[in-house]
Structure 1
Amino acid sequence: MPGGSRGSGGSRGSSIGGAKSYRDEAVVLRTTKLGEADRIVSLLTRHHGRVRAVAKGVRRTSSRFGARLEPFTCVDVQLHRGRSLDTVTQVDVLAPYGQVLAADYGLYTVGHALVETAERFTEVERENATQQYLLLVGALRTLSRREHDAPLVLDAFLLRSLAIAGYAASFADCARCGAPGPHTAFNVAAGGAVCSACRPPGSAAPDPQTLELLAALLTGDWQVARDAEERCRREGSGLVAAFLQWHLERGIRSLRHVERDDTPVLVPAHVPVR
């Protein structure tokens, strides 16, 4: 799942027409109706973090860019700064990922989990927003091209998003003492794989191949990921969901709708949840 987006143009990420206006690349995370014809658009930008802006008149059929501000779309957007909300003044589509994802329910639900996670990790923290933006664009591109199975793309994204936020999981060496692995136990609160000496009560005991799969998703070894058995994929997804929920302190609502062998992945009962 390669990260990154199209190369920045000279004006993207910079002010235009004074400090009140700026232009940037962005992914549309979600939209909310405002009044009779407007929308509030949540954007994850490449250089300005997460931005909430008003798109005036976009719900009218005569709108010049209403269809360009749909979730999952990568855009080149110009905004005018406001007191509480910025205002969208111009927008051009860089990559219409939403058109592909909206046509496939499985891709659509995974796409929603991607953008919801990106939004949650950039609600307050802007320090790593550019990395989260690049990761999100890469995941949406990979998903729209169907380069890998959608659930694998999702789990890879979640693990890497956590790592960017400072919550990288260990799948080999002990997360507590650093003892070389592989180890047979996994504990969410401890940070991942744990040795027998550091293993807290209630730790999970996943299949060793499950930990190999998760390590491969984190590092981008797609050959190992593709060869993983379905039972390991499902067990791994449960561990990823639990790890994410632990660090976010509440779950990602979209995850419950993701199709994984016709059954939603649940947080394992043996994994502590704060």
Structure 2
Amino acid sequence: MSGSSSFAARTYRDDAVVLRTHKLGEADRIITLLTREHGQVRAVAKGVRRTSSKFGGRLEPFMVADLQLISGRTLDIISQAVSKGSYGQQIAAHYDRYTVATAMAETAERLTDSDQESAGAQYRLLIGAFSALARGEHAAELILDSYLLRALSTAGWAPSFTDCARCGNPGPHSAFSAALGGAVCHDCRPPGSPSPAAQTMVLLAALLTGDWPVADASDPANRREAAGLVASYVQWHLERVVRSFRLVERL
């Protein structure tokens, strides 16, 4: 009886999105999950690589599922999975969406690796981004850059694209510093800081706030410049390279 109550105490349910998978042994996989209530979780899906697996395609990257898990010493175990959001197939059918989703998932994994406090908000943000990406609501690269800016903001690194990020001097300003937090005035500008076009800064502000009419109408040149600034901002704060960025196609 005590064994069964101990087992029940170790069992929990949560909604989760699959960030990454890799093989374990001959038939299993380790699944990296971002959950609604328990933050980032690494769990084993036993027998998932067999054609007869009860999990089917519910534990593939970018899929959302209601899971039952059993807490383990190093890895949890997935015992049940019910599909809630089948974004994977729609995303994987388009190369640009797939590479963007991979970059999002890698960023989410980095951000929630040690930060459990914002994990619930990061979960909701990522689900919204995957949903928009699967439906093709906007250009894939714009959804990516909007997601990245919001994810960094949720983690506590909200950028400024109008007032000076260092001294608060009202903008707009013509220089950008990832290290200082975005737009910087002439007095605060570090040597060698880039000077983006004014419309690029407008686009960045639109992506951060979700002003999609402005973002959708933006020029490809401004999108490319904004993407470079977003990437530098993300990698500065994560203190590591997001490897998936190099796969993302830009116009």
Distance in structure 2 (CA, Å) of the matches to 1:61 and 1:228:
46
Instruction: Tell me how large the CA RMSD over aligned residues is.
Output: 0.8
Aligned residue among 139, 152, 155 for 2:142: 152
Distance in structure 2 (CA, Å) of the matches to 1:57 and 1:66:
10
Within-5 A mapping of 1:107-118 = 107-118=97-108
Distance in structure 2 (CA, Å) of the matches to 1:176 and 1:82:
45
What is residue 184 of structure 1 aligned with on the other side?
A: 174
Distance in structure 2 (CA, Å) of the matches to 1:180 and 1:38:
55
What is residue 205 of structure 2 aligned with on the other side?
A: 215
Offset of 1:102 from its aligned partner? Answer: 1.0
Distance in structure 1 (CA, Å) of the matches to 2:180 and 2:20:
33
Q: Under a length normalisation based on structure 1, what TM-score does the superposition of the two structures give?
A: 0.88
The answer as to 2:180 corresponding to 1:173 is no
What is residue 6 of structure 1 aligned with on the other side?
A: none
Partner of 2:214, secondary structure, is helix
What is residue 62 of structure 2 aligned with on the other side?
A: 72
Aligned residue among 69, 79, 83 for 1:93: 83
Distance in structure 1 (CA, Å) of the matches to 2:90 and 2:144:
16
What is the number of residues matched between the two proteins?
245
Partner of 2:149, secondary structure, is helix
Distance in structure 2 (CA, Å) of the matches to 1:102 and 1:237:
22
The answer as to 2:185 corresponding to 1:195 is yes
Distance in structure 1 (CA, Å) of the matches to 2:58 and 2:128:
19
Partner of 2:196, secondary structure, is coil
Moved over 3 A (4+): none
Offset of 1:66 from its aligned partner? Answer: 3.5
Partner of 1:19, secondary structure, is helix
Q: Percent identity?
A: 62
Offset of 1:250 from its aligned partner? Answer: 1.2
| Code of the aligned partner of 2:133 | L
Partner of 1:18, secondary structure, is helix
Aligned residue among 118, 129, 136 for 1:139: 129
Give structure 2 stretches of 5+ with no counterpart: 1-6
Give structure 1 stretches of 5+ with no counterpart: 1-16, 262-274
What is residue 9 of structure 1 aligned with on the other side?
A: none
What is residue 61 of structure 1 aligned with on the other side?
A: 51
Offset of 1:106 from its aligned partner? Answer: 0.7
Partner of 1:67, secondary structure, is coil
110-119 vs 57-66, which moves further: 57-66
What is residue 237 of structure 2 aligned with on the other side?
A: 247
Distance in structure 1 (CA, Å) of the matches to 2:8 and 2:35:
19
Aligned residue among 44, 57, 60 for 2:34: 44
- 1:155-177 deviations in whole A, cap 9, x for unaligned? 00000000011111110000111
Partner of 2:245, secondary structure, is helix
Distance in structure 2 (CA, Å) of the matches to 1:66 and 1:85:
21
Partner of 2:122, secondary structure, is helix
| Code of the aligned partner of 1:56 | K
The answer as to 2:19 corresponding to 1:35 is no
What is residue 227 of structure 1 aligned with on the other side?
A: 217
Between Structure 1 and Structure 2, the one with more helix by share is 2
The answer as to 2:9 corresponding to 1:26 is no
Distance in structure 1 (CA, Å) of the matches to 2:85 and 2:183:
38
Partner of 2:204, secondary structure, is helix
The answer as to 2:249 corresponding to 1:259 is yes
| Code of the aligned partner of 2:49 | R
Partner of 1:27, secondary structure, is strand
